[in-house]
A and B are shown apart, each in its own frame.
Chain A
Amino acid sequence: MHEIFKKRSLAPGYTFFVIKSPRIAKKIEPGQFVIVRVHEKGERIPMTISDFDREKGTLNMVVSQVGKTSRLLASLEPGERILNMLGPLGIPSDIESFGNVVTICRQGTAGALYSIIKALKKAGNRVTCIMGAKSRDYLVLENEIGAVVDELIIATDDGSRGVKGYAVSALREYLKKNQVDYILTIGSSKMMKTVGKIGKKYGIKTKASLGAIMLDGTGMCGACRVTVKGNTRFACMDGPEFDADEVNFNELIRRQSFFKEEERLAMELFEEGI
């Protein structure tokens, strides 16, 4: 179970996997995630399923290599197995006929959007994707998403592809000219906070998929708790998507950086091969 079937590099630091996992593939819905552990002393980390094939029994995943565990995961080769994989977890993304939909992401988080975009298209929406990246070399799933959406807007920090600037600026521009019914964002908490504000300004229903720190992923620890509309919610069970303008992003950003020193140490030792 959970055998790596295919692997390919999408951009520096971004790895694409196809994983054989028939049972999860049969059940998972767009927007849900899994928790993986890659070795006996390893930690449990959440990963969104980018796409799935129920017939072939496979799951796709895009891994951003940000620290030790994601690097270890990305180092697995075809034929190797992921030690533990639990899923599907979380509540599936809202797939309705909204009308005009804008999805917005940056670099690797495009992976998490992919199957949701496909489902939104299938439900009859007109879907636009705004994709941000440092430069054209860091664009992830550009062609795949481009093939599905009605409109793909690319924004790079250096202007090497698409418009120059951040994805949120492109969103602002887009909203000036277009009527939009629904916005979905997956990205850094800082970006999602801004998107939430923009959505609110225009009175558009805006959802954000939160990257809270998780442990069990099943509602037993509360590590993933976030404040939404003043109430404590568990991102793993009640989310990961919430109405963006109701999320206390400042708290989330602080909680996400709680283990920064430990993460740096783990990474340093890992790089020194200890």
Chain B
Amino acid sequence: MNRERRIPRKELPPEERVKNFDEVAIGYMKEEAIEEAKRCLQCREPRCMKGCPVGINIPKFIRAVKEEDFVRAIKIIKENNFLPSVTGRVCPQENQCEGSCLLGKKFEPVAIGALERFVADWARDNNIIEKPEVKVSNGKKVAIVGSGPSGLTCGAYLANLGYSVKIFETLHKAGGVLAYGIPSFRLPDSVVEAEVEYVKSLGVEIEIDVLIGRIFDLKELFQNGYGAIFLGTGAGLPRFPDVPGENLNGIYSANEFLFRVNLMKAHLFPEYDTPIKIGRKVVVIGAGNVTMDSARVARRLGRDVTVVYRRTEVEMPARKEEVEHGKQEGLEFRFLVSPVAFYGDEQGNVKIMRCIKMKLGEPDASGRRRPEPVEGSEFDMNVDTVIIAIGQSPNRLIPMSTRDLQITRRGTIVVDEHEKTSIEGVFAGGDATTGQATVIAAMGSGKRAAESIHRYLSSK
């Protein structure tokens, strides 16, 4: 066994993967997983667990893998995490469990994410569906708004505790960002679908095509017999840079672009009815995970893709792995550049992006150095398609339609440490309360909210 280096994860070669939407990272084989599990030091005070927002007993499940007892492994994982085949793929492990792993102090940390994914995929492939013991129904109803990771997690926990849970989702498919945002080469549709089915199998009902705030408001949900409500409505409102020409044809928000491709399968037009139009020179503005996903999707549609960011590579909030993958796939990067205006042709199609060069000044509130425009440095870039991925704000319909629901200036729903909002019986979590964060953070808050709802309804 090699303590220093982890068992490498195989990947599709870049030339091949830019031609399709197949998953880039190939999971461990059984033997590889067992070998990797042997690297774990089985620390008595495991630091890795502190790095996991939902506190999975990592050494315990890794030990089960080492002993080739995958059924035990999945049981251990599922005690704290309902969606391991999702988190094993998309968690920013380098900042979380793996970032805290003791072995990582000297060598490469244990590949916790890959092991988690292996166990979850193995269980799914072998039809081992570990269901926790469901308590008998207590006859109490809870409504959950939004079927993203926070809502699914909250629902699953409450169902286990005996509540009758209904999730309302406005889109025609459940999963939130997992379904409409994260592309299938990072998170295949089949994985999301299986996890949603699992949550349903616990007794959670999911109703699609229901926009809460228009068809029912929160008061009506209470009137319909729901004792408590969880808001897991996410941060789906796209931000635009507020510069001239931003509504020209060919300028998409990242959400629109990803929504068309991931949810509506527009890349398969005309087999699927939703179109997408993308020119030869594509520019993606931003530097987060959403930026990288948009750029890599555009690349798969066969275009020259440049990522434009107003700071430098060091400040990019996207996962390092995603940036690396993007580079391998042929993305270009232009740092210290920001758009100031867009110009189009007679048909209103975007053709030119006027930019200004930036330099880094003093650190701002986030600790990153603030970009400042360099006077007189404007220049033009030829573009055919622009994808704007500069961030999303919380969905505004529920705050707009709910009096007394306290929100911050950024539009996030105010909650206390138990995910309680300013309205009695209403709880919230995930991106709706934090702004765009991570899948696992959303799940953590869904779990906390479930506990809080349980306390609330038990005392009533």
**A residues within 8 Å of B by Cβ?**
23-24, 27, 37, 41-44, 68-69, 84-89, 215-216, 218-223, 225-227, 232, 237, 250-251, 254-255, 257-259, 261-263, 265-266, 269
Contacts and interface: CB of A to CB of B under 8 A. Distances in A.
B264 interface: yes
Given A84-B172, A218-B397, A232 B240 contact: yes
Contact of A215 (B249, B256, B271): B256
A258 B260 contact: no
Contacts of A84: 172, 208-209
Nearest to B210: A86
Contacts of B216: 27
A87 B395 CA distance: 17
Contact of B271 (A41, A223, A227): A41
Given A84-B172, A86-B170, A226-B247, A220 B395 contact: yes
Given A84-B172, A87-B215, A262-B275, A237 B397 contact: yes
21 contacts: A24-B215, A27-B215, A41-B271, A41-B272, A42-B272, A43-B264, A43-B272, A44-B172, A44-B274, A68-B273, A89-B214, A215-B264, A218-B170, A218-B395, A220-B237, A221-B256, A222-B255, A222-B256, A225-B247, A258-B277, A262-B270
A41 B172 CA distance: 12
Q: 5 smallest A-B Cβ distances: which pairs?
A: A254-B348, A262-B275, A221-B256, A220-B236, A43-B274
B265 interface: yes
Contact of B275 (A89, A216, A221, A263): A263
A72 to B, nearest CB: 9
Given A85-B209, A86-B209, A251 B395 contact: no
Interface residues of B, number: 41
B189 to A, nearest CB: 13
B208 A220 contact: no
B246 interface: yes
Interface in B171-193: 171-172
Given A216-B171, A266-B270, A258 B211 contact: no
A24, A222, A237: most-surrounded residue (chain B CB, <10 A): A222
B238 A227 contact: no
Which of B214, B247, B252, B253 is the most central at the interface, judged by chain A CB atoms within 10 Å of its CB?
Answer: B214
Counting chain A CB atoms within 10 Å of each CB, which of B210, B264, B273, B395 scores highest? B273
A132 B348 CA distance: 29
A136 to B, nearest CB: 34
Interface string B247-284: 10110110110011000110001111111010000000
Contacts of A219: 236-237, 395-397
A221 B253 contact: yes
Chain B interface main SS type: loop
B269 A262 contact: yes
Nearest to A1: B209
A227 B269 CA distance: 29
Contacts of A265: 270
Contacts, number: 112
B265 A86 contact: no
A44 B274 CA distance: 8
A68 B274 CA distance: 11
B247 A227 contact: yes
Given A88-B215, A232-B246, A237-B397, A220 B271 contact: no
B347 interface: yes
B181 to A, nearest CB: 10
Nearest to A254: B348
A254 B209 contact: no
Nearest to A37: B172
A263 B269 CA distance: 10
Contacts of A225: 240, 247
B277 A220 contact: no
Nearest to B173: A84
A227 B249 CA distance: 13
A73 to B, nearest CB: 12
A24 B209 CA distance: 11
A69 B171 CA distance: 18
B347 A220 contact: no
Given A41-B273, A219-B397, A88 B214 contact: yes
B219 to A, nearest CB: 13
Interface centre among A87, A221, A258, A265 (most CB of B within 10 A): A221
A222 B236 contact: no
B350 to A, nearest CB: 11
A241 B275 CA distance: 26
A23 B168 CA distance: 14
Contact of A259 (B256, B271, B277): B277
Given A225-B247, A255-B247, A216 B259 contact: yes
B273 A43 contact: yes
A221 B238 contact: yes
Interface string B345-358: 00111000000000
A105 B236 CA distance: 35
Contacts of A68: 273
Contacts of B249: 254-255, 258
A23 B215 contact: yes
A269 B269 CA distance: 11
Given A43-B274, A215-B264, 19 more contacts: A23-B215, A27-B216, A37-B172, A43-B272, A85-B209, A87-B211, A89-B214, A215-B256, A218-B397, A219-B395, A220-B237, A222-B252, A222-B256, A237-B396, A251-B247, A265-B270, A266-B270, A266-B273, A269-B270
B296 to A, nearest CB: 19
Given A69-B273, A89-B214, A237-B397, A220 B259 contact: yes
